[in-house]
């Protein structure tokens, strides 16, 4: 007998699976349908089941006959899965860390080593977490637990085999046809979805390809950071309603403790707070929303990728993903306890080994797909949408979309002037060129201005002078960084924010509870 112990996700190819597995799912709710299909898939294919699944998933299945637990996380890590082995050999697990914290046998201890990684990357990368002993099941891995023995195996990894036989237009056509296929599967006819919309091509393309009748954006009073007016023009062009959640600095700062608690790990991505408020606003009028994550990492969307050739073989000595804000000598001065053996570059050593022979830009994309997406982007999307009661589906995050990117030569992804070339060319089939080829801005936030404003930063200053801050940091060094930042060096905002978000998270999990 098989039992689905825990599951979060969305299986896109459920119709094809029901036919292949000969499972009658008519009349069942989505939850019942996916439970039936997942159990039958495991019964039929065992640990090979993820090869047959398209979508987002993290799950655990108990096999009563074998007395064995099977846990699985999807190829890109869109849904999290955590596990913890108690002193008496019991396995605690769940798709939320709080599923584990509340169970008998769990001992709450801070994993101090993670702080050194966090201060550089601004997110929790790799399989370790800030809770000692709590580990992530990494993307593309499964876990088995039987008779006290834990087995973890990798079943999928990104692989790249450039195909030079196609033209730019042929690549764009393949992207477009595949994205069309995603929208045949992304929801059922009885579901109604809206779509998040920024000023960028990814969300604009998703909206243009979808049947969404309403788009949702975030905006600010500070015009140079506000993309909502650009988004409004896109929505008008596509004949959809448009709503804007205008973010005020007071509400931005007030929601930070809530975000760090619901995130379960500290995250210093300033856009995560905006995303939270956007999810809360959107959840008032829908329970299902599309979002455009995945395309940047798959198709070369970040501006830094255009410098890849310049870095060459030196990449493996410094590139650990999209963010790397604090050097080792800075952390050594700042931290009360510094371990020279804990280095972010160690997290990506194996990725560079498996990327041997690939061009520099592909290596950068591979690092971001395996480290940044899982640790920052997908974590934020999952945790904050779930907390708001909103389900988000990401049509561009799919193995079939990645398969195109894995075969596409880098020259069709970036050049000296443009990023995401083939993807933008595909988007231009349904969007005006000024939208499809608009320069990438990123999800920008006026935090570098707000954080220096005495009207909003009182809690930042209080945390920097707190007793528990002194457990981790030399307070005089914190004061130096903050003073230099408010004194005019606005580039230091990321360091201030990264330290602050850790302290807020620590207070939520180790002081208040």
Give the C-alpha separation, 279 to 292, whole Å. Answer: 14
Domain coordinates in residue numbering, the chain: 2-154, 168-306+373-436, 447-511
Residue 190, pLDDT score: 93
- pLDDT value for 442: 62
**Contact partners, residue 226, CB within 8 Å, separation at least 6:** 219, 220
One-character DSSP codes across 409-467: -GGGTB-SS-BSHHHHHHHTTTS-HHHHTPPP--S--THHHHTT-TTT-HHHHHHHTST
From residue 1, how far is each of 4, 20, 42, 88, 471 by CA, in Å?
Answer: 10, 21, 11, 26, 50
E strands present in 247-309: 288-290
Burial class (CB in 10 A: 0-12, 13-18, 19+), 366: buried
Q: Which CATH architecture fits 2-154?
A: 4-Layer Sandwich (3.60)
Cβ 289 vs Cβ 193: under 8 Å: yes
pTM strictly above 0.75: yes
Q: Which long-range contacts (CB under 8 A, 24 or more apart) does 385-388 make?
A: 385/279, 385/289, 386/8, 386/262, 387/258, 387/262, 387/276, 387/279, 388/276, 388/279, 388/280, 388/282, 388/283
CATH topology of domain 168-306+373-436: Rossmann fold (3.40.50)
CB 342 within 8 A of CB 319: no
Q: What 8-state DSSP symbol labels residue 304?
A: G
CA-to-CA distance for 356 and 338, rounded, in angstroms?
32
Q: What is the pLDDT along the chain (513 residues), one digit of tens a residue?
A: 999 999 999 999 999 999 999 999 999 999 999 999 999 999 999 999 999 999 999 999 999 999 999 999 999 999 999 999 999 999 999 999 999 999 999 999 999 999 999 999 999 999 999 999 999 999 999 999 999 999 999 999 999 999 999 999 999 999 999 999 999 999 999 999 999 999 899 999 999 999 999 999 999 999 889 999 999 999 999 999 999 999 999 999 999 999 999 999 999 999 999 999 999 999 999 999 999 999 999 999 999 999 999 998 899 999 999 899 999 999 999 999 999 999 999 999 999 999 999 999 999 999 999 999 999 999 999 999 999 999 999 999 999 999 999 999 999 999 988 999 999 999 999 999 999 998 876 657 899 999 999 999 999 999 999 999 999 999 999 999 999 999 999 999 999 999 999 999 999 999 997
């Amino acid at each position: 007998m098989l039992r689905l112990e825990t599951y979060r996700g969305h299986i896109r190819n459920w119709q094809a699976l029901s036919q292949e597995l000969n499972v009658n799912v008519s009349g069942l709710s989505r939850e019942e349908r996916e439970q039936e299909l997942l159990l039958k898939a495991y019964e039929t294919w065992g640990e090979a089941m993820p090869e047959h699944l398209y979508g987002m998933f993290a799950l655990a299945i108990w096999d009563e006959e074998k007395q064995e637990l099977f846990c699985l996380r999807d190829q890109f890590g869109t849904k999290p899965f955590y596990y913890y082995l108690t002193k008496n050999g019991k396995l605690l697990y769940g798709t939320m860390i709080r599923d584990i914290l509340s169970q008998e046998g769990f001992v709450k201890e801070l994993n101090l080593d993670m702080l050194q990684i966090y201060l550089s990357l601004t997110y929790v990368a790799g399989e370790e977490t800030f809770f000692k002993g709590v580990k992530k099941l990494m993307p593309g891995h499964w876990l088995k637990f039987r008779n006290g023995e834990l087995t973890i195996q990798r079943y999928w990894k990104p692989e790249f085999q450039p195909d030079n036989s196609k033209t730019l237009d042929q690549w764009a056509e393949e992207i477009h046809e595949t994205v069309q296929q995603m929208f045949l599967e992304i929801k059922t006819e009885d579901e109604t979805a809206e779509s998040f919309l920024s000023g960028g091509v990814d969300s604009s393309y998703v909206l243009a390809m979808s049947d969404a009748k309403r788009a949702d954006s975030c905006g600010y009073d500070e015009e140079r950071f506000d993309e909502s007016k650009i988004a409004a023009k896109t929505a008008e062009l596509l004949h959809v309603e448009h709503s804007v959640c205008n973010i005020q600095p007071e509400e931005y700062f007030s929601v930070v403790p809530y975000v760090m608690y619901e995130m379960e790990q500290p995250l210093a991505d300033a856009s995560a707070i905006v995303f939270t408020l956007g999810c809360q606003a959107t959840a008032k009028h829908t329970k299902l929303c599309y979002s455009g994550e995945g395309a940047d990492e798959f198709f070369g969307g970040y501006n830094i990728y255009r410098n890849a050739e310049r870095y060459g073989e030196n990449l493996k000595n410094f590139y650990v993903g999209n963010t790397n804000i604090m050097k080792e000598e800075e952390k050594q001065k700042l931290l009360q306890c510094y371990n020279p053996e804990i280095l972010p570059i160690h997290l990506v050593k194996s990725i560079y080994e498996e990327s041997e022979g690939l061009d520099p830009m592909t290596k950068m994309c591979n690092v971001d797909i395996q480290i940044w997406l899982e640790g920052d982007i997908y974590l934020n999307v999952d945790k904050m949408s779930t907390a708001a009661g909103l389900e988000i589906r990401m049509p561009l995050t799919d193995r079939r979309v990645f398969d195109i990117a894995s075969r596409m030569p880098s020259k069709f992804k970036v050049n000296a002037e443009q990023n995401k070339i083939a993807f933008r060319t595909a988007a231009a089939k349904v969007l005006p060129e000024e939208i499809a080829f608009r320069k990438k801005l990123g999800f920008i936030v006026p935090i570098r201005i707000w954080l220096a404003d005495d009207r909003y930063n009182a809690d930042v200053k209080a945390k920097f002078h707190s007793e528990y801050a002194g457990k981790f940091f030399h307070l005089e060094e914190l004061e130096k960084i903050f003073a230099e930042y408010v004194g005019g060096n606005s580039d230091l905002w990321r360091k201030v924010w990264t330290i602050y978000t850790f302290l807020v998270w620590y207070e939520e999990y180790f002081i208040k509870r």
